[in-house]
Amino acid sequence: MSHRNETGATTTLATTALPATYSFKRTLKTGDTLSTLPSLPGSPASAGIKTLNLLNGKEIKCATGRGVNAQAVRAYVMGE
């Protein structure tokens, strides 16, 4: 997983142990987009992945994906 930090630089996080949880903080303003695309390349048909977008600790969007090369795409526009 990678994300852009407050200065605009990209930070990449990786893990080999699953399940894994990542969190980061970024200040956004109205109209900014927050998007996530977690994936499990080469995953078996039984694999599942879930992503949650939280705003001040409250869930605002959730997505799940299952199967081979599972992905859970989620986008949110601040002020939506």
Nearest to 49 by CA among 35, 34, 69, 70: 70
Confidence at residue 23, expressed as pLDDT on a 0 to 100 scale: 72
pLDDT in tens, the chain (80 residues): 566 666 777 766 665 566 767 777 777 788 888 777 777 777 788 888 888 777 778 888 888 888 888 888 777 888 77
The pLDDT score that the predictor gives to residue 63 is 83
pTM for this model (two decimals)? 0.56
- Rounded CA-CA distance 6/22 in Å is 17
Eight-state DSSP code of residue 7: T
Cα angle, residue 39 at apex, residues 36 and 41 outer, rounded to 5°: 155
The whole domain housing 13 covers: 2-77
Q: How many domains does the chain divide into?
A: 1
